């Protein structure tokens, strides 16, 4: 591998991290190519290649006669960690937070019971929380746990930490999930929790999580503010399809 390729990758990684962590905020004009060449001790070739990659990813907008600027980007998350909001938040340099609205045993409605393979009216543990990025309400999380899983949450304060990480630590085999993504209108609880108007559009991700024996363990109904997160699926022949969270502004930039 040539030294130019290594420089191009290093410049790309450093600039991507600065933008992703908010050190360079959205709308900021990037330093000139000359300034970046001086900073990294390189010629214009690696710098231009790095900027091209960042434009393709949506981290940088502009060009073709317009000064390059920082795009409004929420970096994506690999499918392998999609079930954990906390892991995603930390990966993009944000502080995850949560406020619990409810954590209690309830009789499962028919829909939830069906997804979990339970009799209608069977007891489930339901947790309803507002999830935050840097104290900004981002998503309302409603999760119903099968009885054998719910009892493992009795010693956890849902206002502290990740339910997903807690269950993994208890040895729960959270192996696979099926996701359904659509749009819904904010109900009164959603509207109050997220600070949006009643009836405002939200992105909903419904998820059934299974163990390696394909037994359903939990059913989740997560509702996101669409200006803070969207979902992206990238297809490629002979490759597993990754499902990611991303920023709609970045997606729009790439289509221009």
Q: Is residue 198 scored above 70 in pLDDT?
A: yes
User: Which of 45, 73, 101 is where one domain is finished?
Assistant: 73
Name residue, tokens 């960042």. Answer: 54
Residues of the domain holding 7: 3-73
Q: Is residue 152 scored above 90 in pLDDT?
A: yes
- Strands in 108-152 per DSSP E: 123-133, 136-145
Residue 87 belongs to a domain with what CATH number? 3.40.1410.10
Q: Which of 126, 78, 81, 136 is nearest to 105 (CA)?
A: 126
Q: Which of 233, 188, 192 is nearest to 76 (CA)?
A: 233
Residue 23 belongs to a domain with what CATH number? 1.10.10.10
User: Which of 73, 96, 126 is where one domain is finished?
Assistant: 73
User: Which of 73, 90, 117 is where one domain is finished?
Assistant: 73
pLDDT given for residue 63 in this prediction: 64
Residue 146: pLDDT band (50, 70, 90) is very high
Q: Which of 77, 59, 79 is nearest to 68 (CA)?
A: 59
Ranked by mean pLDDT, which of 55-59, 113-117, 164-168, 232-236 comes out on top?
Answer: 113-117
Residues 66 and 124 in one domain: no
Overall average pLDDT of the 125-150 stretch = 94
Instruction: Provide the domain count of the chain.
Output: 2
**Residues 6+ away with beta carbon under 8 Å from 160:** none
* pLDDT tens per residue across span 17-40: 888 777 898 889 999 999 999 999
Residues 88 and 199 in one domain: yes
* Residue 95 covered by a domain: yes
The mean of the pLDDT values for the chain is 83
pTM: predicted TM-score of the whole model, two decimal places = 0.64
Q: At what angle do helices 44-57 and 3-20 cross, to 10 degrees?
A: 40
Sign of the dihedral through C-alpha 78, 82, 87, 89? positive
């Amino acid at each position: 591998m040539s030294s130019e390729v290594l420089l191009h990758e290093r410049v790309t990684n450093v600039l991507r991290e600065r933008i992703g962590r908010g050190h360079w905020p959205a709308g900021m004009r990037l330093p000139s190519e000359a300034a970046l060449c001086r900073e990294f001790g390189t010629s214009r070739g690696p710098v231009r290649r790095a900027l091209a990659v960042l434009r393709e990813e949506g981290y940088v907008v502009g060009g073709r006669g317009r000064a390059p600027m920082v795009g409004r980007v929420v970096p994506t998350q690999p499918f392998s960690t999609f079930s954990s909001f906390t892991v995603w938040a930390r990966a993009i340099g944000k502080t995850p937070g949560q406020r619990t609205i409810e954590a209690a045993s309830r009789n499962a409605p028919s829909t939830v019971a069906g997804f979990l393979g339970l009799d209608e009216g069977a007891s489930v543990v339901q947790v309803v929380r507002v999830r935050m990025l840097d104290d900004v309400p981002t998503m309302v999380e409603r999760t119903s746990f099968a009885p054998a899983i719910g009892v493992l949450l009795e010693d956890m304060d849902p206002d502290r930490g990740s339910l997903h990480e807690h269950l993994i630590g208890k040895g729960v085999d959270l192996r696979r999930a099926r996701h359904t993504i659509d749009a819904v209108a904010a109900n009164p609880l959603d509207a109050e929790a997220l600070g949006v108007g009643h009836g405002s559009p939200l992105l909903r991700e419904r998820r059934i999580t299974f163990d390696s024996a394909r037994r359903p363990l939990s059913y989740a109904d997560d509702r996101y503010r669409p200006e803070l997160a969207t979902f992206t699926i990238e297809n490629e022949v002979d490759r597993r399809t990754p499902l990611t969270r991303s920023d709609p502004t970045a997606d729009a930039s790439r289509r221009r």
